[in-house]
Amino acid sequence: MRLSIIGAGYVGLVSGAAFAEFGHDVIIMDIDRERIAKLQRGIVPIHEPGLDRLLDKNSDRISYTSNMEEAVREADIHFICVWTPPLEDGSADLSAVRAVARELGKQFVKLKVKTPIIVTKSTVPVGTGVAIQRLVRQSYKGDFSVVSNPEFLRESQAVADMLRPDRIVVGSNDPDAAKTIAGVYHDVNAPIIMTDLATAEMIKYAANAFLATKISFINEVANICEIVGADVERVAEGIGHDPRIGKAFLKAGMGYGGSCFPKDVRALHQFSNASGYDFKLLKSVIEVNEQQRQMIVDKVNKHLKILNGKNILVLGLAFKAHTDDVRESGALDIIERLQIQGANITAFDPLALLNAKKKLNDLVILVGNAHEGAVGADAIIVATEWPDFKELDWERIQSVMRKPLIIDGRNLLDPSEMRKLKFIYEGVGR
């Protein structure tokens, strides 16, 4: 099949690379000409393990363009993979999706395209597919179909998730178009859920909201554990063996972040309100996530009393390990809260320093290693669960700190080992 990918971000590049691996001819389009120029030179503009190799392996089946006309001319099926960031009220910003839909309609007319299929991979609220149909119809009067084929990709594991998905969701009010899109995944060994457009759009939001709910739930359990002297890590282990619950997403800490969970939970909550339903549970999920970040700051305050002029090293800036993505990162949120109280912040991350620098103010000192940042520190906050942080020379770090305080926001370190090294150690819920 001939496929176009509109949007060369995480979803677009990973999807395009995987579709080429499945044997399809793929053209990836983005209005960012600099990004397309890099891709044409073999430079992948994002960090995603295995993506560069997959793109290179299938380079004979992948082309890149910043020209929508070329993308439409070279494909029969068009995947919308643009980002849908949150607006101030929490709802999804669909301006990029709408712009793509309008432009596709114009190009269908110009190129006299017959029976194209438009597929949304971007996370969009229920009703977006129907809205896309209306926007395309403003220009194009021929037959076309809209299909929802949401992505379920985890950053740092996105390539594996796309090549070996646990399920594929295809939703459309046109059964023939749905079958065509299911055929894109012809060699993939995964169940395919065929449904209508609205249901497919809801599945994506419901999935992310449920996972975020698990995270907020275990964080609430962690907070009770701290009060009564229980260990949330063992609690999570004890309940996670129950197959009705499962072990995934039962890691207490600073809460969820990244490009998906925060925006999707807020968007579903806002969409529910706009639809006349008060989704009380999601409101609590959001509140708990905010609370967890403040809780880390409160722990620092408890030990240092006054933060003005205190030196704090933040270990980890990415929203999770094995990625350079700092969108909705808990670390960046905590840094801002600490700076409001006058703390001096030094920070280190193995991958995300460059992206973090674009978001942080000039008062944050970014260092090349943890040992450098620990000199004279009054506290260390472990904000990202990088495995490398376990292997640091903590004895050496303790010797150069002004006050050997560790606030482990990810429960990454062994409390007993840290205390043996004469650290004042605080985790989350243990």
| Token output for 282 | 């999601």
Q: What per-residue confidence (pLDDT) applies to 328?
A: 96
Contact partners, residue 244, CB within 8 Å, separation at least 6: none
- Residue type at 367 in one-letter notation: V
Topology, domain 2-190: Rossmann fold (3.40.50)
In DSSP terms, which residues pair with 2 in a beta bridge? 25
Buried b (16+ CB within 10 A) or exposed e, 4-40: bbbbbbbbbbbbbbbbbbbebbbbbbbbeeebbeebe
Q: Which of 327-337 are b and which e, b meaning 16 or more Cβ less than 10 Å from the residue's Cβ? A: bbbbbbbbbbb
Q: How far is CA 348 from CA 163, 276, 337, in A?
A: 33, 45, 18
| Token pair listed for 43 | 């430079």
196-430: what fold? Rossmann fold (3.40.50)
Q: In 3-state terms, what secondary structure has residue 322?
A: coil
What is the spatial distance between Cα 381 and Cα 392, in angstroms, rounded to a whole number? 14
Query: Measured between alpha carbons, how far is 405 from 381 in angstroms, rounded to an integer?
Result: 9
Cα angle: 66, vertex 52, 331; to 5 degrees: 90
Radius of gyration of the chain (CA): 23
The CB density around residue 186, as the number of other CB atoms within 10 Å, is 10
The catalytic residue among 92, 260, 282, 300 is: 260
Q: DSSP of 165-200, one letter per residue?
A: -S-EEEEES-HHHHHHHHHHTTT--S-EEEE-HHHH
- pLDDT score for 72: 98
Longest CA–CA span in the chain (Å) reads 73
User: How many other β-carbons are positioned within 10 Å of the β-carbon of residue 169?
Assistant: 21
Known catalytic residue at 260: yes
Secondary element (H or E) of residue 300: helix 280-304
The Cα 382–Cα 379 span in angstroms is 10
Q: How far apart are CA 323 and CA 47, in angstroms?
A: 6
390-399 CB contacts, 8 Å cutoff, 24+ apart: 394/418, 394/421, 394/423, 395/421, 396/371, 397/370, 397/371, 398/422, 398/423
Domain boundaries, the chain: 2-190, 196-430
pLDDT for 338: 99
- pLDDT lower than 50: segments of the chain: none
pLDDT in tens, 156-166: 999 999 999 99
**Which positions ≥6 away from 321 have C-beta within 8 Å?**
156, 384, 385, 386, 387
| 50-85 pLDDT, tens digit each | 999 999 999 999 999 999 999 999 999 999 999 999
Contacts of 269 (CB under 8 A, 6+ apart): 90, 279, 282, 283, 286
- The alpha-helical segments, DSSP class H, found in 48-157 are 51-57, 68-73, 95-110, 128-137
2-190 and 196-430: same fold? yes
H helices present in 307-387, as ranges:
330-340, 353-359, 370-374
* Residue 138, pLDDT score: 97
Residue 368: the pLDDT is: 97
Burial label for 305, CB within 10 Å (0-12, 13-18, 19+), is exposed
Q: What is the pLDDT of residue 215?
A: 99
Distance, C-alpha 56 to centroid of its chain: 24
Looking up tokens 């990244």 gives 258
